[in-house]
Amino acid sequence: MSAVKMDGKALSAKVRGSILAETEKLKAQGITPGLAVIIVGNDPASEIYVRNKEKACVECGFYSEKYALPEETTEEQLLGLIAQLNESPQISGILCQMPVPKHISEQAVIDAIDPRKDVDAFHPVNVGKIMVGNFDFVPCTPAGVMELLEEYKIDPKGKECVVIGRSNIVGKPMSMLLLHKHGTVTICHSRTKDLAEVCRRADILVAAVGKAGFVTPDMVKEGAVVIDVGINRNAEGKVCGDVDAAVLDKASFMTPVPGGAGPMTITMLMKNTLKAAKVQRGISE
């Protein structure tokens, strides 16, 4: 039996449609959500991500500003721009595309963004809020995975959830979101012993490793839900995930790459920006 492919592209279009509808209502009250996107240097992958974020802003009816800064921008200059955007009434959310050039501290950039405008949810205040379970913004990739699970009526409650990867942007927040939904969560990483055995316990297995074809069928329980967060390039230069295609025959549900978790990420950024615009004006729903 082949797994149901969880269609992130279709869900993404649906969610963007509902964001646009909400934006139209807000605009009627004189409020336009605004996103500022900053990119420093000329990383080609980052440029594609930024372009896609600008396109998504148009689709959702948002106002947007893009700041493409040269590689030699100093940390002081970048923090100065962020300070200005923190004060700008047109801007609800601020995003600085990572990675930034090595002479700039990533953490200093994250710390400089007003937590109320931190739509990536990387600021320590928002990380702490996720930990305690009282948050406005959810990191975009894990948030997208949770929406996909909900769409396909997969409830983590009481299930064995195994997350491979413990990064601050994917693995850790992913684990917390599954825990908040009452999953029994195990976080694996490069020092985990008997990884395959731990993974075989999973009812829901999330791979966020960054290695093409890393998860093989012997690591997957029959009927498990397999979420592939990885975005890699194989030997032929084709985009692929962390999960071997043969896992499709063992899983009950699986996210394809491309077209699964990936498209949801930017959509969740839009959702956070809409939320920011509302929260900043005291609108709760």
Q: Which residues are catalytic?
A: 53, 97, 120
**Residue holding tokens 């420093």?**
40
> What is the rounded distance in angstroms from the CA atom of residue 109 to the CA atom of residue 260?
30
> What is the rounded distance in angstroms from the CA atom of residue 270 to the CA atom of residue 96?
15
Residue 88: CB minimum distance to ligand NDP, A: 27
Based on CB atoms, which residue is closest to ligand NDP, 93 or 262?
A: 262
Residue 210: CB minimum distance to ligand NDP, A: 3
Based on CB atoms, which residue is closest to ligand NDP, 114 or 228?
A: 228
**Residue holding tokens 């615009």?**
277
Q: Taking a C-beta distance cutoff of 8 angstroms, is the pair 37, 53 a contact?
A: yes
Residue 224: CB minimum distance to ligand NDP, A: 17
Based on CB atoms, which residue is closest to ligand NDP, 32 or 232?
A: 232
Based on CB atoms, which residue is closest to ligand NDP, 167 or 280?
A: 167
Cis peptide before 258 (omega within 30 of 0): yes
Residues making contact with ligand NDP (CB under 6 A): 141, 164-167, 169-171, 188-192, 195, 208-210, 229-232, 261-262, 265
- Assign 3-state DSSP to the chain and report helix, strand, coil percentages, each to 5: 45, 15, 40
Residue 169: CB minimum distance to ligand NDP, A: 5
> What is the rounded distance in angstroms from the CA atom of residue 255 to the CA atom of residue 7?
7
> What is the rounded distance in angstroms from the CA atom of residue 207 to the CA atom of residue 212?
11
